[in-house]
Amino acid sequence: MITRQRLAAGVCALLAALTASLLFPAGAVADETDDRDAPKVELVLDVSGSMRTRDMDGESRMAAAKQAFNEVLDATPKEVRLGIRTLGANYPGDDRKEGCKDTELLYPVGPLDRTEAKAAVATLTPTGWTPIGPALLKAADDLEGGDGLRRIVLITDGEDTCQPLDPCEVAREIAAKGIGLTIDTLGLVPDAKTRDQLICIAEATGGTYTSVRHKEELSNRVGQLVDRAADPVVTPVAVKGATECADAPTLKSGLYTDRQGFGQQRWYRVDVDPGQELRASVSVAADRAVAPGYGLLVRAVTKSGREIVRGEAAGNGRTDVISTGLRYPKPESDEEDAPAETVCLQVVHSFSPAAGVKTTPGLPLELTVDVVDGPGTSRDVASFGLGRGWWLLGALVLTGFLAGLLWGWLSRWRIAVWRTN
């Protein structure tokens, strides 16, 4: 006789099989292949004389950094190509010109040999100057090549001592190259000037700033940033918008970065087939001091200049970023081979620089373009970034319906068997 427990187990097994067959049909691949190059990370460590200061849980800043590096090296994901660069590690003298050249690639970016990397870090002794700007320029060169994610993690306890080469301007120049490189900064027991400088460096490239006062905080934060490089994220593609639609680059679904000067406009083009929907969003970051009162506009326009739809945002006061977006559903066509429509996207912002602030390079702009199938079409729901959840929802609904039928049939059968006994 079939017991209630066996019956329940059988139903659960059958439901699991039904769900598996619906969600993962034969030949389906669970994960899409990622053809991008391996992510690259370079840790840039300040080894200047001030790193001798003993204010990190009773130990020197240098000792805390070495401990953090050892822990991070042990936990670095195997797919990450990691390198280490130092600044202020070799020249102990007073010649500023020589001190500002003092940056060295301690461990080259590549597959990690943990023993070798730890041995290199162990030799470091706090020595000289703090040439942050030159170190960042060299680190960007170290990470050249490939299309994988690239990240610099700068760890320092003081502001740059090699002016007039402003490290914040260096970071902006790196961002303006459009190579998709992010700089994260960590300040060890920072003063106000150091904090402001490190925030500026990070914000120029879309990175993060962290103030660190304890050994454990340092280890955890550096580890998080290295792990982040291994996450499967979308890498922005550098693009240069035009001053008019006719000369604009044609974009497909994806994430793009550009620079837009004060008082300028940027144009891009997107092809939209009948029955598809264009979704576009744009963000502009104020990576330097700007005047209060600002706005952002993105317009979808036909090639003849007729406005289709627009998105707007405005504000007043201090801001770091402003964003807006739009959606344009292209109606279905009765023609079987109807051509795609070229939609022109215009981006305009009304930021103005504060007094004495440099106007070049332009402000960083991030544009997301998504061309998806509109309502009522039979094709896939989304081609980029918006999820493909409708078929999953349908599968779950169908599974629930079949489960209900099956459970009802089994319940009636069980009652009939009980009555005959």
pLDDT tens, position by position, 383-412: 343 344 445 556 666 666 676 667 667 666
How far apart, in Å, do the first and last CA atoms of the chain sit?
10
Q: Are 372 and 277 in contact (CB under 8 A)?
A: yes
Q: What whole-number distance in Å separates Cα of residue 202 and Cα of residue 221?
A: 15
Q: Is the pLDDT of residue 80 over 90?
A: yes
CB count in 10 Å sphere of residue 379: 12
The CATH code that applies to domain 40-230 is: 3.40.50.410
The Cα-based distances of 88 to 29, 82, 138, 186 in angstroms read: 50, 20, 14, 17
- Whole-number Å distance between alpha carbons of 284 and 50: 37
**Chain mean position to CA 219:** 22
- HSE at residue 11, side-chain half, CA atoms within 13 A, is 19
pLDDT value of residue 326:
92
The pTM of this model reads 0.53
pLDDT for 296: 94
Average pLDDT for 224-231: 82
CATH code of 242-373, in short, is 2.60.120.380
Which tens digits make up the pLDDT trace of 327-382?
999 988 878 788 999 999 999 999 998 888 888 888 888 899 989 876 544 433 33
- What pLDDT does residue 282 have? 92
Per-domain residue ranges for the chain? 40-230, 242-373
How much is the average pLDDT of 108-123?
95
pLDDT value of position 387: 42
Cβ atoms 158, 116 nearer than 8 A: no
Q: Which pLDDT value is given to residue 6?
A: 44
193: three-class secondary structure by DSSP:
helix
- Position 309 pLDDT exceeds 60: yes
Q: How far apart are CA 91 and CA 95, in angstroms?
A: 9
What pLDDT, on the 0 to 100 scale, is given for residue 29?
A: 36
Instruction: Spell out a b/e string for 322-351, using b for 16 or more CB atoms within 10 Å of the CB, else e.
Output: bebebebbbeeeeeeeeeebebbbbbbbbb
- The rounded distance, in Å, linking the Cα atoms of 396 and 415 is 28
pLDDT exceeds cutoff 60 at 292: yes
